[in-house]
């Protein structure tokens, strides 16, 4: 536990920077949405604002937390730490530290802006409440603060999947560019493929972008299937890259 706390402290600066950027960006888009969009409920301001930021979320979290693993691997610090604490324990501790920071940053940034949007006064209101048609529509309208707690925490967990994938790429590819952009490119490619196959409800982007698709397309299980598919595919990618790296090391 003591080592986990020390590891978490290493990510304080990038975590704070990311939290400020996300909070500022969503807040700005909330004000833009407030002025330019007719809504049926205040929470719609936040939902619309988050759409713009959600697109770059996989890239943002990896920019903040992935370079650390690239540099400690490149400089050979992992081998040095392995002698003292064990490689597996060292990596697991740092992975947990990045996971904790990612969940906290995403949760705080999104929930703080939700609270801001719920206290805004929309300039244009429509009488028809469209939110009730969505999977979580009743909770979004009647219990926005409570729903926000659960949704923002869930979104933080999904963001952790991006960071873990980026960190593993940093360890096995020795390429910072690939490590940071890998999760983002994957999301774009998967989104394109699922759209072409007429299966957008199973995309990882659909799992963390609230009310992204029409109500008729979405069910509760879609939010879990998208994450499960992402874990399986990215795990397969990492295993292939790891095996290729091990084969190269054996030949050398």
- Which tens digit of pLDDT belongs to each residue from 24-53? 999 999 999 888 877 888 899 999 999 999
High-pLDDT (> 90) share of the chain, %:
56
- Beta bridge pairs of residue 39: 125
Q: Is the pLDDT of residue 66 over 90?
A: yes
- Rounded CA gap, 199 and 208, in Å? 16
- Rounded CA gap, 3 and 7, in Å? 6
Question: Are 122 and 45 within 8 A, CB to CB?
Answer: yes
Higher pLDDT, 5 or 61: 61
The reply to whether the predicted model has a pTM over 0.85 is yes
Average pLDDT of the segment spanning 61-66: 94
Query: Residue 248 is encoded by which pair of tokens?
Result: 């190269």
Q: Is the pLDDT of residue 252 over 70?
A: no
Task: Please state the separation of Cα 200 from the chain's center in Å.
Answer: 18
Average pLDDT of the segment spanning 196-204: 91
Q: Is the pLDDT of residue 85 over 80?
A: no
Confidence at residue 57, expressed as pLDDT on a 0 to 100 scale? 96
What is residue 86's three-state secondary structure? coil
Report which of 193, 197, 190, 181 is spatially closest to residue 227, judged by C-alpha positions.
190
Q: What is the DSSP letter of 119?
A: T
Dihedral, 93, 95, 101, 103 alpha carbons, nearest 10: -120
Average pLDDT of the segment spanning 81-89: 67
Q: What is the mean pLDDT of the chain?
A: 88
Higher pLDDT, 173 or 126: 173
Report which of 222, 184, 22 is spatially closest to residue 107, judged by C-alpha positions.
22
High-pLDDT (> 70) share of the chain, %:
91
- Rounded CA gap, 97 and 91, in Å? 10
Report which of 210, 213, 223 is spatially closest to residue 48, judged by C-alpha positions.
210
Higher pLDDT, 159 or 221: 159
pLDDT class of 152 with cuts at 50, 70, 90: very high
């Amino acid at each position: 536990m003591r080592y986990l706390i020390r590891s978490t402290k290493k990510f304080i600066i990038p975590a704070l920077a990311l939290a400020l950027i996300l909070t500022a960006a969503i807040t700005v888009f909330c004000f833009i949405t407030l002025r330019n969009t007719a809504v049926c409920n205040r929470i719609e301001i936040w939902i619309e604002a988050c759409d713009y930021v959600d697109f770059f979320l996989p890239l943002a979290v990896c920019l903040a937390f992935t370079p650390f693993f690239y540099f400690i691997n490149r400089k050979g610090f992992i081998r040095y730490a392995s002698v003292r604490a064990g490689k597996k324990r060292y990596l697991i501790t740092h992975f947990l530290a990045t996971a904790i920071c990612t969940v906290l940053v995403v949760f705080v940034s999104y929930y703080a802006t939700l609270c801001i949007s719920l206290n805004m006064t929309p300039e244009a209101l429509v009488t028809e409440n469209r939110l009730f048609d969505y999977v979580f529509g009743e909770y979004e309208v009647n219990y926005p603060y409570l729903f926000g707690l659960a949704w923002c925490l869930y979104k933080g967990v999904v963001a952790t999947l991006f960071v873990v994938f980026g960190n593993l790429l940093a360890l096995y590819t020795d390429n910072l560019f690939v490590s940071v952009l890998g999760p983002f490119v994957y999301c774009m490619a998967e989104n394109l493929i699922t759209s072409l196959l007429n299966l957008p409800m199973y995309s990882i982007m659909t799992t963390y972008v609230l009310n992204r698709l029409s109500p008729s397309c979405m069910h509760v299980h879609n939010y879990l299937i998208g994450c499960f598919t992402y874990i399986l595919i990215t795990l397969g990618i990492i295993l292939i890259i790891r095996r290729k790296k091990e084969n190269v090391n054996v030949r050398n």
